[in-house]
């Protein structure tokens, strides 16, 4: 379109800048910049001339130079374990959607759950002057590198991991309540022996304490641990005993042991009547093993999982699950982040909300994988 036959276009020259626009409009650089940027004053006439010149030249402001001056890059960072994971890519979409509305863009970096990669990512993103950071931290204890980011005045929101004790805003699902609710459902259907199968971070093995009247799990708030807590809470609330043998916590980096854990549960002298699988990997392992062994769901074994995946409605029976919306979590985290970015450095004066915790509700989707237990139905 920029067909300007008379003028010789330098062709190989880069994109036009304010100076070019100013020259064409016959005004100074500052005036052109003001007219274009929409700040300061400029007369109607000059405004039009400049706008026209910019249009003709196909002028587009250089964000890099703008960042240099203003310190605002209109870029945020998203640091997660693996963007190809369905949870993170959905969250990413939520983040992108909010960012688009805010005129911002998102740089993604993967950590593969390695602290060193996370530290590198934080450093790199800081050097690019990102306006903010959304992160799913590998560790909830080791967060010096995250503190360095906030220390540099860059807002951070933690996604799916609780870091609010460290004064960092977090957006998490109501893992404990969602799980408790699901277990409650199982109990309501007559199940007394309910197995819990979940993953845990290898570096932070949970300390499970099972007392006569109370059971608890020590350690920080993390989805994997909070779900165990929800399980314990629901059993306690119903006056059911907590049995150690019904709880399997498999290190996240040893996927091969998931199937073993399910098999061990089935091999128990007094096996459970229902399996609660606390994450999608475990749900898949459990479903696969039950299928292979020809164990009828829910006839011989009930199954209830955390996290919804496409396949849970394609297999027969359809699997009942607790769903968390990764998309909504991403949106919420981004919304919170941009609020902090916009906030005029909430440090001075008002006791600013540091370490705010936003909880996204989960939903229970009842399908067909949970059966009714009538009486103590030992030995079929």
Q: Residues 230, 180: contact at Cβ < 8 Å?
A: yes
The answer to whether residue 123 forms part of the interface with DNA (CB under 7 A) is no
The answer to whether residue 153 forms part of the interface with its own copies (CB under 8 A) is yes
When CB distances are held under 5 to 8 angstroms depending on the partner's kind, the choice from its own copies, DNA, none that residue 287 binds is its own copies
Residue from 20, 47, 56, 61 binding its own copies (CB under 8 A): 61
Six token digits for residue 351: 């006791």
**HEC per residue, the chain:** CCCCCCCCCCCCCCCCCHHHHHHHHCCCHHHHHHHHHCCCCCCHHHHHHHHHHHHHHCCCCCHHHHHHHHCCCCEEEEEECCCCCHHHHHHHHHHHHHHHHCCCEEEEEECCCCHHHHHHHHHHHHHCCCCEEEECCCCCCCCHHHHHHHHCCCCEEEECCCCHHHCCEEEEECHHHHHHHHHHHHHHCCCCCEEEEEEECCCCCCEEEECCCCEEEECCCCHHHHHHHHHHHHHHHCCCCCCHHHEEEEECCCCHHHHHHHHHHHCCCCCCCEEEECCHHHHHHHHHHHHHCCCCCCCCCEEEEECCCHHHHCCCCCCEEEECCHHHHHHHHHHHHHHHHHCCCCCCCCCCCCCCEEEECCEEECCCCCCCCCCCCCCC
Binding mask 291-310 for its own copies (x = CB under 8 A): x-----------------xx
Taking every pair of Cα atoms in the chain, the longest distance, rounded to a whole number of angstroms, is 94
The C-alpha torsion from 234 through 179 and 355 to 95, rounded to 10°, is -170
The answer to whether residue 343 forms part of the interface with its own copies (CB under 8 A) is no
Six token digits for residue 97: 């959607």
Nearer to its own copies (CB atom), residue 209 or residue 367: 367
Q: How far is the CB of 331 from its own copies (least distance, A)?
A: 12
Residue from 2, 4, 9, 30 binding DNA (CB under 7 A): 30
The answer to whether residue 58 forms part of the interface with DNA (CB under 7 A) is no
Q: How far is the CB of 128 from DNA (least distance, A)?
A: 12
When CB distances are held under 5 to 8 angstroms depending on the partner's kind, the choice from its own copies, DNA, none that residue 19 binds is DNA
Nearer to its own copies (CB atom), residue 97 or residue 243: 97
The answer to whether residue 36 forms part of the interface with DNA (CB under 7 A) is yes
Query: What are the phi and psi torsion angles at 378 (to 5°)?
Result: -60, 145
Nearer to DNA (CB atom), residue 14 or residue 84: 14
Instruction: Scan residues 354-373 and list those touching its own copies (CB under 8 A).
Output: none
The answer to whether residue 12 forms part of the interface with DNA (CB under 7 A) is no
The answer to whether residue 10 forms part of the interface with DNA (CB under 7 A) is no
The answer to whether residue 281 forms part of the interface with its own copies (CB under 8 A) is no
The answer to whether residue 151 forms part of the interface with DNA (CB under 7 A) is no
Q: Residues 141, 195: contact at Cβ < 8 Å?
A: no
Q: How far is the CB of 147 from its own copies (least distance, A)?
A: 12
Instruction: Scan residues 94-113 and list those touching its own copies (CB under 8 A).
Output: 96-97, 100, 105-110
Nearer to DNA (CB atom), residue 60 or residue 253: 60
The answer to whether residue 29 forms part of the interface with DNA (CB under 7 A) is yes
Nearer to DNA (CB atom), residue 61 or residue 355: 61
The answer to whether residue 89 forms part of the interface with its own copies (CB under 8 A) is yes
Binding mask 11-40 for its own copies (x = CB under 8 A): ---xx-------------------------
Instruction: Scan residues 318-377 and list those touching DNA (CB under 7 A).
Output: none
Residue from 287, 290, 305, 337 binding its own copies (CB under 8 A): 287
Residue from 23, 56, 66, 147 binding DNA (CB under 7 A): 66
Of 277, 249, 380, 185, the closest CA to residue 288 belongs to 277
Candidates 21-29, 64-72, 194-202, 209-217: pick the segment binding its own copies (CB under 8 A): 64-72
Q: How far is the CB of 223 from its own copies (least distance, A)?
A: 20
Cβ neighbours of residue 350 closer than 8 Å, sequence gap 6 or more = none
List contacts with DNA (CB under 7 A): 14, 17-19, 27-31, 33-34, 36-37, 39-43, 45-47, 61-62, 65-66, 68-70
């Amino acid at each position: 379109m920029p067909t300007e036959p008379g003028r010789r276009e330098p062709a190989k020259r880069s994109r036009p800048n304010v100076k070019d626009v100013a020259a064409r409009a016959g005004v100074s650089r500052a005036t052109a910049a003001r007219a274009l940027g929409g700040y300061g004053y400029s007369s109607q006439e000059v405004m039009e001339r400049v706008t026209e010149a910019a249009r003709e030249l196909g002028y587009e402001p250089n964000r890099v130079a703008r960042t240099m001056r203003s310190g605002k890059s209109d870029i945020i960072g998203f640091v997660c374990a693996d963007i190809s994971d369905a949870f993170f890519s959905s969250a990413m979409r939520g983040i992108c959607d909010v960012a688009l509305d805010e005129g911002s863009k998102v740089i993604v970096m993967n950590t593969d759950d390695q602290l060193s990669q996370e530290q590198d990512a934080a450093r790199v993103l800081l050097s690019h002057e990102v306006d903010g950071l959304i992160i799913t931290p590998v560790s909830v204890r080791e967060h010096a590198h995250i503190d360095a980011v906030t220390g540099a005045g860059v807002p951070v929101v933690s996604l799916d991991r609780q870091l609010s004790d460290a004064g960092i805003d977090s957006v998490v699902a109501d893992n404990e309540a969602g799980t408790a609710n699901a277990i409650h459902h199982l109990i309501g259907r007559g199940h007394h022996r309910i197995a819990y199968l979940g993953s845990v971070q290898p570096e932070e093995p949970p300390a499970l304490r099972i007392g006569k009247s109370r059971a608890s799990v020590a350690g920080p708030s993390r989805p994997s641990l909070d779900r165990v807590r929800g399980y314990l809470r629901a059993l306690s609330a119903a006056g059911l005993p907590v049995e150690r043998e019904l709880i399997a916590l498999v290190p996240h980096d040893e996927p091969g042991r998931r199937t073993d854990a399910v098999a061990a549960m089935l091999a128990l002298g007094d096996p459970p009547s229902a399996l609660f699988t606390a994450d999608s990997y475990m749900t898949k392992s459990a479903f696969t093993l039950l299928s292979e062994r020809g164990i009828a769901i829910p006839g011989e074994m009930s199954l209830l999982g955390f996290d919804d995946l496409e396949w849970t409605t394609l297999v027969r029976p359809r699997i009942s699950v607790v769903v968390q919306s990764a998309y909504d979590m991403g949106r919420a985290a981004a919304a919170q982040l941009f609020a902090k970015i916009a906030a005029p450095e909430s440090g001075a004066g008002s006791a600013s909300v540091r370490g705010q915790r936003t909880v996204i509700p989960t939903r229970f989707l009842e399908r067909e994988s949970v059966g009714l237990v009538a009486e103590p139905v030992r030995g079929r």
